[in-house]
A = this chain, B = another copy of it.
Amino acid sequence: MNAEIIAVGSELLTSERLDTNSLYLTGRLNALGVEVVYKCVVGDDRARLSDAVRLAAGRSEIVVLTGGLGPTEDDITRDAVAAALGRGMSFRQEIADHIQARFARMGRQMAEINRRQALVLDGAEALANPNGTAPGQWIESDGRAVMLLPGPPVELEPMFERECLPRLERMVPPLVLRTRFYRVAGMAESDLDQLISPVYKPYANPVTTILAAPGDIQIHLRARCPTLAEAEALLAELGAGIEALLGDRIYSRTGEPLERVVGDLLRQRRETLAVAESCTGGLLGERLTSVAGSSDYFSGGFLVYTDAMKTALLGVGVQLLAEHSAVSPQAAEAMAMGARERTGATWALSVTGIAGPAGGAEDKPVGTVFTALAGPDGVCSLRSRFLGNRARVRALAAQTALDLLRKKLNAAPG
């Protein structure tokens, strides 16, 4: 089965923005065994969008449209698809009521133009949107489907997972697809690939995909077989080879991010964590608390961006800072110990470094970062040198700190 993806919105035709929803959608469709054969971006132009929909629906079984479902005049997807498919639209009072209730919960009045979002194509099912006002729409006939989805990823992705995937699974002929994930911290993509490619290259099935973010590599194995047993056997065989090579550098086998893995370890041990952040400025705390329920183990922390704050909030000695500077193992360790003492947490992580672009020196160039971990048995620190811009250095610093704690917890079972 083939699919096409049509992204709608003039903002996606500027020189600054790309349609990234199609990557997520392609991943999901591929996992069902559906190939994406064409994708396009159309501006807010009714005629061009209708042409695109007509062409796509005429040659591919699945057509996914994203965006253009908002309440304003330039949100043209509903109209254009109705014209392309030769269908009418009708106003659904229950959707308007739902939108109105959503506004009411925010203590606001629904604007008159939002009524447009309650227009549904004849024969379409409305798809619930818990994160926005615009419902999606699903139009299916003769084993073919056209779906209209909202543009913001935070609305699109849950809707696709909950509403579209079950409908697609019903439509698409069965070929079992099984996946396995690994997430690896603390390796460069090229080093990892050089290490494991002799193992995965001989396999055309499972397909191996490597995705790299700063300090965080995801390895996806996808096996597609007539039976579940065959798919599982292939994954187990290839997976064993990869695990043998990567060992403890694999921090997750389920696709969970590092902050969740570390959080689960802490929760199991009934231990707590505090942070002291200089160059990451809150990123480490932000990641830890992005996990629902993190108050079970995250005590709190200190953003000590200036030397004065390191002394005032964490008791880092003025003498120590004068002698070693704030970017030193001594400062990192004093920060971690200060945070642990002041919060009473079991563990405290600290980060101090030079995120750039300015502030580098010959012995401590931009990208130099010290992370430290204080715990029941003392304190240790790690020196790293990260390459890249400010955002990348900060991301790598936070990742390195979390991985320092993960390794410590794994090495000293609670």
Q: Is the CB of A301 within 8 A of B300?
A: no
Q: Is the CB of A356 within 8 A of B154?
A: no
Given known pairs A10-B209, A23-B15, the reply for A392 and B70 (CB within 8 Å) is no
Q: How far is the CB of A158 from chain B (nearest CB, A)?
A: 8
Is A413 part of the contact surface with B, judged by Cβ < 8 Å? no
A10, A158, A293: residue with the most chain B Cβ atoms closer than 10 Å: A10
Say how many copies of this protein the assembly contains: 2
Stretch with Cβ within 8 A of B (4 or more), from A30-38, A228-236, A243-251, A260-268: A30-38
Q: Is the CB of B342 within 8 A of A312?
A: yes
Q: Is the CB of A302 within 8 A of B301?
A: yes
Of the residues B37, B105, B300, B344, contact of A43 by C-beta under 8 Å: B37
Is A48 part of the contact surface with B, judged by Cβ < 8 Å? yes
Is A295 part of the contact surface with B, judged by Cβ < 8 Å? yes
How far, in whole Å, are A388 and B152 apart by their CA atoms in the complex?
Answer: 12
Of the residues B40, B71, B193, B389, contact of A39 by C-beta under 8 Å: B40
What B residues does A294 contact at CB under 8 A? 281, 305
How far, in whole Å, are A292 and B308 apart by their CA atoms in the complex?
Answer: 19
What B residues does A175 contact at CB under 8 A? none
What B residues does A309 contact at CB under 8 A? 299-300, 343
What B residues does A14 contact at CB under 8 A? 26, 30, 220
How far, in whole Å, are A391 and B291 apart by their CA atoms in the complex?
Answer: 9
Is A182 part of the contact surface with B, judged by Cβ < 8 Å? no
Q: Is the CB of A38 within 8 A of B27?
A: no
Q: Is the CB of A131 within 8 A of B388?
A: yes
Of the residues B220, B281, B303, B312, contact of A11 by C-beta under 8 Å: B220
Stretch with Cβ within 8 A of B (4 or more), from A77-85, A87-95, A107-115, A160-168: A107-115
25 contacts between A and B (CB under 8 A): A10-B207, A37-B45, A38-B42, A39-B41, A40-B41, A48-B59, A70-B212, A105-B385, A111-B191, A131-B389, A154-B389, A154-B391, A277-B285, A280-B289, A281-B285, A282-B287, A285-B285, A290-B391, A292-B390, A298-B306, A299-B309, A300-B304, A309-B343, A312-B343, A313-B342
The 8 closest A-B pairs by CB, nearest first: A281-B289, A282-B285, A282-B282, A40-B40, A15-B27, A300-B309, A301-B303, A282-B286
Chain A positions near chain B (C-beta within 8 angstroms): 10-11, 13-16, 18-20, 22-24, 26-27, 30, 35-45, 48, 51-52, 55, 59, 70-74, 102, 105-108, 111-114, 131-133, 152, 154, 158, 188-191, 193-194, 197, 201, 207, 209-214, 220, 275, 277, 279-290, 292-295, 298-306, 308-309, 312-313, 342-344, 355-358, 365, 385-392, 394
